Amino acid sequence: MTLELRGITKRFGPLVANDRISLTVEEGEIHALLGENGAGKSTLMNVLYGLYQADEGEIVLDGVPMTFAGPGDAMAAGIGMVHQHFMLIPVFTVAENVMLGNESTGFAGKLDIDAARERVREISARFGFDVDPDALIETLPVGVQQRVEIIKALSRDARVLVFDEPTAVLTPQETDELMAIMRQLKESGTSIVFISHKLREVRAIADRITVIRRGAVVGESSPTATNAELAALMVGRPVELTVHKDPAKPGADALVVRDLQVTDATGHVHLDSISFSIATGEVLGVAGVQGNGQTELTEALLGLQAHVKGSIELDGHQLVGRSVRKVLDAGVGFIPEDRQADGLVEDFTLAENLMLNRSHGKPFVRFGTIRRKMLETFASEKLVEYDVRARGIESTAGQLSGGNQQKVVVARELSRDLRLLVAAQPTRGVDVGSIEFIHKQVVATRDSGVPVLLVSTELDEIAALSDRIMVLYRGKVIGIVPADTPRETLGLMMAGERPEGVVA
Amino acid sequence: MSTPVKVPVPIDDDIPVTGMRGALKAPIVLGVVTMLVSLLVALKSRQGDTTFRLATDTDLFELPEITVPSTPSVTTIVILLALCTVASAFLVSRGRRTPLWLVALFSVLAMTGFLCWAAAGAAVPVIGLLGGSIALAVPLVFGALGGVLGERAGVVNIAIDGQLLFGAFAAAMFGTIVGSPWGGLAAAMCAGALVALVLSFFAITYFVDQVIVGVVLNVLVIGLTSFLFGQILAENPEGLNSPPHFERIPIPLLGEVPVIGPVLFRQTILVYLMYFAVFAVAWALYRTRWGLRVRAVGEHPKAADTVGIKVNRTRYTTMLIAGLVAGAGGATYTLVSVPQFGEEMTDGAGYIALAAVIFGRWDPVRATLAALLFGFATNLSGVLSVIGSPVPSQFMLMLPYVVTIIAVAGLVGHSRAPAADGIAYRKG
């Protein structure tokens, strides 16, 4: 099926999310939609899928203009979508999820669950998936959940399949498998729209590439283009893709973690006796697929976890059992993985956000009163120093873009004397320009002699910044390896395998 | 109960207990109850025999009365209770869960022991105790079913009490006007649906906090019915507030089965309707397309939307059906034993129904069992005060709530609400 989008425009109030976007996807073609977070890719796909109505423009399938009042119409027309955040119901089985909205029924609306099971098995067999129709979604690994999404779309005879950032949650191996599946789908005549901001993947799989920036198409490209060319198109200026840094000059071990165990209230073990150390002037990268204990590790370091056993020593002082306040006072800086939930108060001004970690006393509070003049001077300086694009220090954090919000968090954490920096997903959902800036700040922090713990699910980021890499899998350390370890080896380790020669 | 409904395992039956705290709860509660029962004997030993009457005067086959000496029986039962507790503690120490049958056996034993003690020198009318429990539980069951439906679709319904009360009022007034209990029942269901409609309008269409709307509706219904009662019904009680009531209809054959017959099958049509409603709601929720969609909408409305299900329309229709069901519960107050409406006559039963929803884990059958438990405890306090128990009457009034708390705290494990319960759905 040939899909054509003609002059799609979508506005949210004064914001133009999609500005006269046109693109064509031929039958049996993988067409990549490349753009930064917030460029308007997802909005465009939501228009295509009937979740939003376009203000202008039309959707044409095989030459016939269509109007979609809702996702039901889009599906009926043969458009399927594999969502970035899976649209699966965790407490339902695979078969129930696949049949939902498209149920075959018997007497009085009685569900024909056997038919749904059969459909799951049939499609699984066709693509070599190993999916149990009676498994509960919440018990399945994300890679399998994604296959359920694919099965769901195919069970409705989708002939145009949209993959929205499908690799964000996958291991490198799972990503390779997904690409194989996409090629197989393409062979069978399905048209595929592949949305991504990852240059490597786009070049590996796409037949054609359309680049979107600030809601408009800025160019078409072919997979033979170089990373630098694509990145420049995507960002609108030449971009430094590699991080320049001098070799580390590690000193003595500053952070020493021994037999750290973290459990939750129900007794489930999230970190299982892990031990590692970080020297001054060194970045330890923590790699792993999301949800393998990284969140618990960073929170345990800060004192945010309730059930912690083992020892965390910073410069010889025990941190386990201390309050968060005392841990911060010991010189720990923390860039949390979810800046909107944990990093900022969105309704506070930038100035207020910049003093959040020092709200109890010096230098911003004297006799229980905030020293406004001093705070304003400090905040204005930091906005300039950290290149935060905002109207002023009285703007609220919620008004900023993701990249600028993150720069506010980084500014706050780095503008005091640190003994340790814990950076969890510091560039998630951040534009390329801000990524460059934040990476430079992390390296500068290291060079000033501060040990850095960097958690990231982006292997490229880990490889670019780390001096050593620790791989976490199901709460255990699979190994701590040098920064120049090949991607493939790291990928295997992220899937829980310990290659020869690697010591845990 | 009616035919046992085979339903797929509800959401979280098999969550393994990894922490000790969850699993330890059962033996601790069993131990505490054992101690309480043994304290009864130790502190206030009672002389005389206890008689359990298992038959009514009209039974075809009359079961003999069972008479046991009070103190020795209670002592024996305390020993058995202690054994159950030890067994449970043993299982938990081996890392296993306390099985449900053990808890059930324990509960029956503990209740028998308590009755042996409380009714020493008197006779316990077992049939009346159980049959009355069901009659008392009817509005709770209907209310809880309505609550389960609404919450499974993602709308928290605090207004169950308002639905019951408005249903009771409508049943009394329209039943009298039409001169038929069926007319009253229909009016009650419509009244429940009307409250549901108002709740849905604010909660679904205007995203108002569902708990607040629910509470406000309850207060509104109390005010409205009291006003109308004072201004209209009280002026003309014969013409507006003396509805005809449903008679008991014994079911042939089934009604003659010893114990079960008189308890379950010599009831009013409303009780039979309740059996049907429990079955119908459970079947519809787990076995039909409609139920699958309702549950999807309550768990993950966005996912439902992306497969073409109209989220808010589904919520509206489910809430209306839930309102019809809850309203039918209200009819029980005015169309059965005392056929007339009184101010605030539900006495907060809707909140108990809401509690039944939660410790029935949002499952129609379990919520029904929870409501029956509460009905039993309420009736027990009544029966015991009639046969003259040594327990102070104030304590007897507490009994239903104490039993409920023990059941919730001790015997219901981890429960999880539908994920989108109480959250209005906005597109985009």
Measured CA distances, B103 to A61, A199, B129, B414 (Å):
62, 60, 21, 16
Residue B6 has pLDDT above 50, yes or no: no
Residue A383: pLDDT band by 50, 70, 90 thresholds? very high
Residues A269, A252: contact at Cβ < 8 Å? no
Whether B19 sits inside 8 A of A152 (CB atoms) is no
Residue B306 has pLDDT above 70, yes or no: yes
Q: Which residue has the tokens 């059969």?
A: A118
Nearest by CB: A87 against B19, B290, B302: B302
Query: Which of A12-16, A194-198, A339-343, A422-426 reaches the highest mean pLDDT?
Result: A422-426
Residues B185, B274: contact at Cβ < 8 Å? no
Contacts of A47 in chain B (CB under 8 A): none
| Phi, psi dihedrals of residue A455, rounded to the nearest 5° | -105, 130
Q: Give start and end residues of each alpha helix (H) in B241-361.
A: 260-264, 269-287, 289-299, 301-306, 311-335, 349-359
Residue A169: pLDDT band by 50, 70, 90 thresholds? confident
Residue B11: pLDDT band by 50, 70, 90 thresholds? very low
Query: Best residue in A45, A68, A100, A145 to probe B by mutation, most B CBs within 10 Å?
Result: A100
Residues A458, A490: contact at Cβ < 8 Å? no
CB-based contact, A89 to chain B, within 8 Å: yes
Query: Best residue in B24, B285, B292 to probe A by mutation, most A CBs within 10 Å?
Result: B292
CB neighbours of residue B367 within 10 Å: 30
Q: Closest Cα of chain B to A362: distance in Å? A: 41
Residue-wise pLDDT for B118-166, tens only, equals 888 888 888 888 989 999 999 999 999 999 999 999 999 999 999 999 9
**Rounded Cα–Cα distance for residues A245 and A465 (Å):** 8
**Rounded Cα–Cα distance for residues B147 and B321 (Å):** 11
Q: Which CATH architecture has domain A242-331+417-504?
A: 3-Layer(aba) Sandwich (3.40)
Closest Cα in chain B to A43: B428
Q: Closest Cα of chain A to B281: distance in Å? A: 13
pLDDT of residue A130: 85
Contacts of A87 in chain B (CB under 8 A): 300, 302-303, 306-307
Residue B417 has pLDDT above 90, yes or no: no
Token pair for A472: 């976490």
Beta strand A160-164 pairing with A191-196: parallel
Beta strand A216-221 pairing with A208-213: antiparallel
Closest Cα in chain B to A89: B300
Domain limits, CATH 3.40.50.300, in chain A: 3-235, 242-331+417-504
Q: Closest Cα of chain B to A457: distance in Å? A: 25
Class for domain A3-235, per CATH?
A: alpha beta
Q: Closest Cα of chain B to A257: distance in Å? A: 25
pLDDT of residue B231: 92
Q: Closest Cα of chain B to A265: distance in Å? A: 8
- Packing angle between helix B70-93 and helix B20-43, nearest 10 degrees? 160
Residues A478, A504: contact at Cβ < 8 Å? yes
Angle at CA B424, nearest 5°, toward A344 and B154? Answer: 120
pTM over 0.90: no
Residue-wise pLDDT for A210-254, tens only, equals 999 888 999 898 888 888 888 888 888 887 767 888 888 888 999
Residue A376 has pLDDT above 50, yes or no: yes
CB-based contact, A72 to chain B, within 8 Å: yes
Closest Cα in chain B to A113: B287
Nearest by CB: A100 against B288, B307, B419: B307
- Residue percentage of chain B with pLDDT more than 70: 91
Average pLDDT over every residue of A66-82? 90
Q: What is the DSSP string of A134-187?
A: TSBGGGS-HHHHHHHHHHHHHHTT-SEEEEESTTTT--HHHHHHHHHHHHHHHH
